[in-house]
Amino acid sequence: MAIRFTSVEAEIDRAAHRVLARLPRGRVADGVVEFIVFGLKQAWACLFGGLMLAMILLTRLWWPELGLNRYDFWFLAALAIQLGMIAFRLETLEEARVILIFHLVGTGMEVFKTAVGSWVYPEAALLRIGGVPLFSGFMYACVGSYMARTQRIFDVTFSRYPPVWMTAILAVAVYINFFSHHYIYDFRWVLFGATALLYWRTTMHYRVFRFRHRMPILLAFLLVAVFIWIAENIGTWSRAWIYPGQEDSWSLVSWSKLGSWYLLMLISVVLVTLVHPPREHRLL
């Protein structure tokens, strides 16, 4: 299947070809250019999340008296960013559909989690559901945007991908456990084991620029979870939301949250397969 580029992704490749043409040919030049292109395309895949995080940071450092709550401004700004990305064809409609699904799934979890005190939103908001300001759904949508965009930007294929119906059942179990562990046993270690058994043979293949690379999908889950955990620390420092124990002063988000985000990666991948079915890797 041909890769569907937006203008920015295509321009990154064209610029890389121009740079490569001016360098002495060899493994070092190939490797350096490949690495730089990887970084640029990863940054492009993170566009929605990067803009949201930058907005949260900037308004933490400086917020004028506009008669508008920060949370409400974030929601309106996130909506404008999303519409702008579609209007300027920086994002496909299929990716927007994934983002909407993540928004709904995430908001449902937020309403429950804030009700049981897992975390709170300490500032006022007019646009909210219960204790959840509406911008929060866009934080999950950032993950959905990244996952969907990387599938396209890096032309991702898989070797030995498990049956989709099995991944869907496991994803539903993970989602239920996020709620049920407040009342019964926390089955996260069982779910970690099930995830490892289901995906341990699965390899992700992706094209950066001129070459295809591969990575065990379980490692990919972990790497993305680590970056989200880092972003979560930035979010709590900015008091976008806070966990118990962070009311008076900021502290590092618990490492246990890294496990939660790891399991969320499973849900994320399954939701993306609803729009982009996993494609089998074929040797050329």
Mean pLDDT across the stretch 17-42?
A: 87
Q: Say if residue 161's pLDDT is above 90.
A: yes
Three-state SS sequence of the chain: CCCCCCHHHHHHHHHHHHHHHHCCCCHHHHHHHHHHHHHHHHHHHCHHHHHHHHHHHHHHHCCCCCCCCHHHHHHHHHHHHHHHHHHCCCCCHHHHHHHHHHHHHHHHHHHHHHHCCCCECCCCCCCEECCEECCHHHHHHHHHHHHHHHHHHCCCEEECCCCHHHHHHHHHHHHHHHHHCCCCCCCHHHHHHHHHHHHCCCEEEEECCCCEEEEEHHHHHHHHHHHHHHHHHHHHHCCCCECCCCCCCCCCCCCHHHHHHHHHHHHHHHHHHCCCCCCECCCC
Is residue 27 scored above 90 in pLDDT?
A: no
pLDDT tier at 2, thresholds 50, 70, 90: very low
- 70: nearest Cα among 57, 83, 84, 51: 57
Q: Per DSSP, what are the bridge partners of residue 255?
A: none
Q: Which residue has the higher pLDDT, 148 or 35?
A: 35
Question: What rounded mean pLDDT belongs to the chain?
Answer: 88
Q: Can you tell me the distance from the alpha carbon of 272 to that of 45, in angstroms, rounded to the nearest whole number?
A: 14
Tokens coding 44: 């492009």
pLDDT of residue 49 exceeding 80, the answer is yes
Give the residue from 76, 270, 70 showing the smallest Cα distance to 166.
270
Q: What is the pTM of this model?
A: 0.85
pLDDT of residue 110 exceeding 70, the answer is: yes
Given this model, what pLDDT does residue 1 score?
Answer: 40
Mean pLDDT, range 140-163, rounded to an integer: 89
Ramachandran angles phi, psi of 274, nearest 5°: -65, -30
The model's pLDDT over 122-146, given as tens digits with 9 standing for 90+, comes to 999 999 998 899 999 888 888 888 8
Alpha-carbon distance of 274 to 250, in angstroms, equals 38
Long-range interactions of 183-189: CB distance < 8 A, separation 24+: 188/259, 188/260, 188/263
pLDDT at 158: 95
pLDDT of residue 113: 92
The residues that bridge with 280 in the sheet, in sequence order, are: 158
Rounded Cα distance between 115 and 104, Å, is 17
Nearest to 268 by CA among 115, 149, 136: 149
Give the model confidence (pLDDT) of 8-21 as tens digits.
888 888 898 888 88
Do residues 268 and 102 touch, judged by C-beta distance below 8 A? yes
Burial 267-278 (b: 16+ CB within 10 A, else e): bbbbbbbebeeb
> pLDDT band at 283, cuts 50/70/90?
low
Overall average pLDDT of the 148-153 stretch? 87
For the chain, domain boundaries? 7-273
Q: Tell me the percentage of the chain whose pLDDT exceeds 70.
A: 97
Q: How many angstroms separate the Cα of 114 from the Cα of each of 75, 152, 273?
A: 18, 34, 29
Q: Which residues have a Cβ under 8 Å from the Cβ of 221 and sit 6 or more positions away?
A: 195, 199, 262, 265, 266, 269
223 has a pLDDT exceeding 50? yes
What are the beta bridge partners of residue 120? 242
| Per-residue confidence (pLDDT) for residue 217, from 0 to 100 | 94
Residues near 29 by beta carbon (within 8 Å), at least 6 away in sequence:
20, 23
Q: Residues 105-122: what's their mean pLDDT?
A: 91
Percent of the chain with pLDDT over 90: 52
pLDDT tens per residue, range 164-203: 999 999 999 999 999 999 999 999 999 999 999 999 999 9
pLDDT in the model for residue 151: 87
